[in-house]
Structures are given as structure tokens and as C-alpha cells.
Amino acid sequence: MWVALGLLVTHPTWGTTALPVLARLHVRAKDVAGLPAADRPAFRTTHARAVELVRWAVSCLASWGKALWVVADGAYATAPFLTPVNALGVRVVSRLRKDAALWTEPGPRRPGPRGRRRISGDRRMSLAERAGQKGGWSTGTFDLYGKATVKRYKTFVATWRPAGGAIRVVRVDEPTGWRAYFCTDPAATVADILTRVAGRFTLEATFRDLKHVVGAGQQQVRRLPANVGAFHVCLWTFVMTEAWAWNATPDALVGHRATAPWDDAARRPSHADKRRGWRRELQGKEIRAALRPGMTEAEIQAAAERLLDLAA
């Protein structure tokens, strides 16, 4: 299993895309002993590997002088991940369990002996009870998944021990039932949280393309370091393709759809479209080089063989 870090970027036309930049291979504790001694890694939990990736991102992006946000799957909404990431000054957005043990905020400090300030209040808060209450719901329009989306929600500040203190909670009313999300920054807005939750979905789409388009996981290699290297080649090939296509013209990406009347020429270019467009550009350079004046028959034959290899 891979623990991966992606950078969410927003294209002015195509919306949000996740660029996978670094990953760590997680091997279960019971499987570590079965690996060859020369390649056997020290066991680390997925949370520890995720913290390592976030720490690397902080070191790379500190010079930007901007707040760093991390949106993670609900499996990382635990103290082993949140505590060290909070210490790095990173805001975390994730899904909140419906049975999360939330408490009210602590009241003002009473006069008397000084001591450690309480993390939480003395009253338990139930997400299910609050979701069942008819009042307190608000409606807002948010830019989610590339379009304006109306959401019915409730939001409040609570304290949660795994996060080490106060969090911003957002409960969203969905057709299939309500869901809850949180941010470790109580000052975060509902838009901050929901747009990042929606943005994280693009990482799932990226992994789909990595498997089905780029071919990640299909490499026939034996040793563990070779698997790690091959996987990262796939990650960075994906990123390089997206970078090439960032300023590409629509014709360079979806011009081939003119020969496929069943396709929608106006839809957002897929990663496969971008790979095809880049390949077309590279092959075009080969063809134009082969058509230069004064070529001998042997050079034409060699160019034809090379183009056949590219086409095949």
C-alpha cells in the first residue's frame, strides 16, 4: 500500500488537479519479515509515513511564506497523525467519525491556583443529536467539483482530544445522509473545509489514471527498491504530462475527438488526452525532421522504421 502526497493545483479552465509528488511504500508488520534481508525496511505505521511526507512538504514550502493545508482521508484523523502535524503549524482537514467524542470548549479560567489550562469543556457533544435537530441549519453555495453547488450544513466549534484542542466542525446534509468534517483551525470557514474535501477527490482520480493510463503497478521488477523507483517514475511522468498540458491549446489535447463523433468535444481533457497530445507533438517533430530536403533513401528508410516503432 502506498501513502502518497499530492499537490492540489487549480487550472483556470479545468479546475482542481492533484499532482502526486512523493510516496512511501507501507509494508504490514507481519509481512516485513518475509522480505529479503537486503531490502527489508524498518516497520513504520501509515500515520508515521504520512507525517514524514508532511514534514518534507513543510521543509520545501516554508520559503513560500504561506499557510500549509493538508486534506487527508478519515483514516488519518487520529492523534498519531494530527499531533505531530499540528506541531508543524499545518492545518488539517479530514472526515470526522459520526461517533467522535466531542466536548464543549473550556470555560474561562477561574481565580485561584494556576495550572495547566483545560483542553476541553465539561459537556459532551453528540454529532447525531445535533444532526437530528431541526434548527441551526444553514444553506450556502460553494465551488465544488468545478461547479457551484448548494449545500445545507451546520457548523460549530468543539474540542476533540485526538486534535489536541478546538476544531471547526461542519456537518453536511447529503442525499445519502449527513457527513461530518473538521479542521484543526477553529477559525476556518465552511468554504475552506468543503472546497478542500472536494479537492481531495481529485487525488482518487489521479490514482485511477496512474493505474489505468500510466501503468503504475504493472512493472515487472523483483526487488523492493526497484518497485519504489518504478512507482515514482510513474508519478513524475504524470506530473510532467500535466505540466506540459497546462498551457497547451485545446486542439493539441482534444483535436483527435473530431474523428470520434460519439465523444463530447467540449468535455474537460482527460489525462489520457494530455498524454496523447504530448505524444502527438513528439511524433510530429520526428516526422518533420524526416521530411527535411535532401534526405537520402537510406535516411528516409531509417526514419520510416523509427516512426513505425513510435506508432507501434
Global model pTM greater than 0.85: no
What are residue 61's phi and psi, to 5 degrees?
A: -105, 0
98 or 308, higher pLDDT: 98
* Helix, coil or strand: residue 274: helix
Supply the pLDDT for residue 266: 67
Q: How many CB atoms lie under 10 A from the CB of residue 250?
A: 14
Q: Where do runs of H (alpha helix) occur along 33-118?
A: 46-61, 79-87
Supply the pLDDT for residue 49: 94
The Cα 47–Cα 72 span in angstroms is 11
- Mean pLDDT along residues 251-271: 71
Query: What band does 82 get if pLDDT is binned at 50, 70 and 90?
Result: very high
The domain made up of 2-109+117-214 has a fold known as: Transposase Inhibitor Protein From Tn5; Chain A, domain 1 (3.90.350)
Contacts of 221 (CB under 8 A, 6+ apart): 227, 230
As a whole-number percent, the residues of the chain with pLDDT over 70 amount to 89
Query: What band does 273 get if pLDDT is binned at 50, 70 and 90?
Result: confident
276 or 238, higher pLDDT: 238
pLDDT value at 264 more than 90: no
The Cα 82–Cα 55 span in angstroms is 12
Supply the pLDDT for residue 28: 87
Supply the pLDDT for residue 128: 78
As a whole-number percent, the residues of the chain with pLDDT over 90 amount to 41
The residue extents of the domains of the chain are: 2-109+117-214, 248-311
Q: What is the mean pLDDT of the chain?
A: 85
- Mean pLDDT along residues 89-110: 84
pLDDT digit string (tens) for 286-307?
777 767 777 788 877 887 787 7
